Amino acid sequence: MKRNVISVVKFLSLAAITVLFTIYVFRFLRGSRISDTPTSLPLPEKLQDVEHVQEQPQNAGEKIDWQDLKKIREESKRSGKGEHGIASFLSPSLDVLKEKLYQVNGFNAALSDEISLNRSIPDIRNSECKKKKYLQNLDSVSVVVSFHNEHFSTLMRTCWSVINRSPVTLLEEIILVDDASTKIELKSKLDDYVYENLPKVKIIRLKKRSGLIRGRLAGAHKAKAKVLVFLDSHSEANVNWLPPLLEPIAQDYKTCVCPFIDVIAYETFEYRAQDEGARGAFDWQLYYKRLPLLPEDLKNPSEPFKSPVMAGGLFAISAKFFWELGGYDPGLEIWGGEQYELSFKIWQCGGQMFDAPCSRVGHIYRKFPPFSNHFKGDFLGRNYKRVAEVWMDEYAEYVYRRLPHLRTMDPGDLKEQKSLRKKLHCKSFKWFMDKIAFDLVDVYPLVEPDDFASGEIRNIGASDFCLDSKGRGQDEDVVLDLCSKDNPDIQGEQKFQLTWHKDIRPQGRTQCFDISRADLKAPLSLYPCHGSQGNQLWRYDVEKQTLVHGSSSPRCLDADPGRQKVFVTTCDSSSSTQKWRIEKVNMKAMNNWEKIGPKV
Ligand code: UDP
Ligand code: MN
């Protein structure tokens, strides 16, 4: 009996040694990729445990090339309308249809119908991205797309782009949330198409219009995968878009990652870059803004960089972290403000947010919003108030100063949101401003500095004449006219501000004096203010009384009183038409020119 036991033990140890040896040789021959192909050797339970324990540290950090090179090659050979993201056009015979579909979509949906649902788009990633490897151990995703009356072909192209450009193992499902659409083609035609062609796509139908925020929440509740990816219903995922989004989440689940959002032109469906990255931010009216990359971000153009707020439409987040944060505040209505809510709580409650340059997704920025949301009143203001009250602490005041109607607005019940913040021991908004959005107030100060100068701008050579912008808009000229102070008949717009941005604008408006030509007599026109960079930069020389445009090759504002025209030209200190008197000059601000506003 005893001998038997000994020989069984001997046999087992020999077998175990053999198995271990086999595994070792296997691994040696195949690198350490053994874990992704289940071994067919039936291992005793104990050994499986050993195997698991040994595998973890070795494989957890292993990186692979996730790119589907075969697919990339196939796509490069495609030809046809809109392929490779090249701009395309409709025959004029379709003008009536084009107009009809524009009205309900805000983009050229008739053209979309002529472009393949599987079209190729240009791989415009930074060249470093093409060489990058990512962790082999990544969690799969549920892609959630909420839509209200989306055009059929753009919605399906969103799905196809995700399916075509995601590794099969990383895509669990796509959840389409129909936010009570009324378009007929989004009913059984959509069901049938999805049933026949898109087995990974599931459709959830909401009974009543609930808005983007609750639509996304409904989809996220149904999601099975460990990572949630939210997309707009008119997006196109680009080559190898998922691994760069997933790796930072695999390294720390309290992470949210946004792709670069490329532009799909609303008229031609051309696919192009918006820019090569910037950090998300906001101004104190809560308009979404962008801050420049930091020097360390610029050094590594293919590495994820920290971003204070997301643009909103497209991002990946671990489901665990999303739900720890309570998802979106379900009290937010329709659309808007949710990107701030989630961004603030990610940062303040112990998480982090990145933009991943190697993940790119195109989005159709509409020409105009096609559907009315007015049935909910000022839902955007109410959303902002909820976000400000729950997350922004004393900084809410700076929002209310600019949006005073929010002060008296009822934000609804905030108890749950506030107790969540307490429960998670989230940090203060001051911490967020100091540590994460630390350069925001340089560009968007809490309190706007006073104007450098304001009032009428009168020509000295022709002293009856003043600058006049006539209430005009983008690309229209600023002219010279009789000063309305002395000539009440003149119907003009003659009050201006030389603001702390170092731009000049008609009082209270956001159109700025702009020079778009480099020739000798470049006309003065208006263009939406863009922060005094480049061609909207002005300086008033109090002593010489000149208005100087630009910094690298400055030119002076001059007037032709006979033709009532104004333009910039070579500065000439002897010219009296190049001299101007601004009604009010704030000498204290002028003496601090270098210290205030943009450094130029
Ligand atoms: N959306 C929704 N319900 C709404 C409004 C919008 O599901 O009440 C969807 C919409 O179809 C899109 C996403 O939310 O997929 C974002 O909306 P939209 O594209 O209009 O916003 P934009 O990108 O223009 O800011
Ligand atoms: Mn959109």
Are 309 and 339 contacting, i.e. CB atoms less than 8 angstroms apart? yes
Are 308 and 354 contacting, i.e. CB atoms less than 8 angstroms apart? no
Are 306 and 352 contacting, i.e. CB atoms less than 8 angstroms apart? yes
Ligand nearest to the CA of 146: 1
Mutate which of 157, 212, 264, 338 to test ligand 1's pocket (most atoms within 8 Å of Cβ)?
212
SS3 296: helix
Are 150 and 190 contacting, i.e. CB atoms less than 8 angstroms apart? no
Contacts of 81 (CB under 8 A, 6+ apart): 88, 114, 115, 116
Mutate which of 104, 146, 310 to test ligand 1's pocket (most atoms within 8 Å of Cβ)?
146
* Full pLDDT tens readout for the chain, 600 residues: 444 544 544 554 545 444 444 443 333 333 332 233 233 333 333 333 333 333 444 566 899 999 999 999 999 999 999 999 999 999 999 999 999 999 999 999 999 999 999 999 999 999 999 999 999 999 999 999 999 999 999 999 999 999 999 999 999 999 999 999 999 999 999 999 999 999 999 999 999 999 999 999 999 999 999 999 999 999 999 999 999 999 999 999 999 999 999 999 999 999 999 988 999 999 999 999 999 999 999 999 999 999 999 998 899 999 999 999 999 999 999 889 999 999 999 999 999 999 999 999 999 999 999 977 666 788 999 999 999 999 999 999 999 999 999 999 999 999 999 999 999 999 999 999 999 999 999 889 999 899 999 999 999 999 999 999 999 999 999 999 999 999 999 999 999 999 999 999 999 998 999 999 888 899 999 999 887 567 999 999 999 999 999 988 899 999 999 999 999 999 999 999 999 999 999 999 999 999 888 877
Please report the beta strands in 110-154, taking only residues with DSSP state E, as ranges in sequence order. 134-135, 141-147
The residue contributing the CA closest to ligand 1 atom 4 is: 211
Q: Side chain identity at 141, as an amino acid letter? A: V
Q: Taking the CA atoms of 43, 49, 50 and 52 in sequence, report the sign of the dihedral they define.
A: positive
Would the CB of 384 count as within 6 Å of ligand 1?
Answer: no
> To 5 degrees, how large is the angle CA 569–CA 574–CA 580?
65
CB-CB neighbours of 406 under 10 Å = 20
Per-residue model confidence as pLDDT tens digits over 469-481: 999 999 999 999 9
Per-residue model confidence as pLDDT tens digits over 492-521: 999 999 999 999 999 999 899 999 988 889
Would the CB of 179 count as within 6 Å of ligand 1?
Answer: yes
Which of ligand 1's atoms lies nearest the C-alpha of 363?
23
Structure tokens at 403: 């949006």
CB-CB neighbours of 76 under 10 Å = 12
Are 205 and 91 contacting, i.e. CB atoms less than 8 angstroms apart? no
pLDDT at res. 552: 82
Measured CA to CA in angstroms, residue 340 lies from 122, 386, 396 at distances of: 31, 11, 13
Structure tokens at 121: 């788009």
> To 5 degrees, how large is the angle CA 422–CA 427–CA 433?
140
Are 215 and 313 contacting, i.e. CB atoms less than 8 angstroms apart? no
Mutate which of 143, 149, 232, 368 to test ligand 1's pocket (most atoms within 8 Å of Cβ)?
232
Ligand nearest to the CA of 233: 1
pLDDT at res. 47: 35
Residue 157 CA to ligand 2 center (angstroms) comes to 14
Count how many residues are written for the chain: 600
User: How far is residue 109's CA from residue 154's CA, in Å, rounded to a whole number?
Assistant: 8
Would the CB of 212 count as within 6 Å of ligand 1?
Answer: yes
SS3 280: strand
Residue 548 CA to ligand 1 center (angstroms) comes to 44
